[in-house]
Amino acid sequence: MPLGRLTKTPDLLSSVILLGAIAMLGGCAALTINDISTDTVDPPVLLKVDGTGNWSTPLNYPSGFAATQLSAYPEISTRRYSLSPSEAFILMKRVIKEFPRCKLVRAEEGADSYLQAVATTRLIRFNDDVVVRLRTRDSETLVDIRSKSRVGSGDFGANAARIKQLFDRFEAIAHASPAKPKL
Each residue's pLDDT, cut to its tens digit, for the chain (183 residues) gives 455 554 555 554 554 454 344 434 444 555 689 999 999 999 999 988 766 666 667 788 888 899 999 999 999 999 999 999 999 999 999 999 999 999 999 999 999 999 999 998 888 888 899 999 999 999 999 999 999 988 777 788 899 999 999 999 999 999 876 554 433
pTM of the model: 0.79
pLDDT at 178: 56
The DSSP-derived string for 80-130 is EESS-HHHHHHHHHHHHHHSTTEEEEEEE-SSSEEEEEEEE-SSS--EEEE
pLDDT at 180: 47
- Nearest CA to 117 among 104, 99, 100, 101? 104
Cβ burial, residue 37 (10 Å; 0-12/13-18/19+): buried
Q: How many residues does the chain have?
A: 183
CA distances from 40 to 44, 139, 158, 177 (A): 9, 23, 17, 30
CA distances from 122 to 68, 115, 125, 152 (A): 25, 22, 6, 16
Spatial separation of the C-alpha atoms in residues 34 and 62, rounded to whole Å: 10
Helix (H) or strand (E) holding 75: none
For 128, phi and psi rounded to 5 degrees? -115, 150
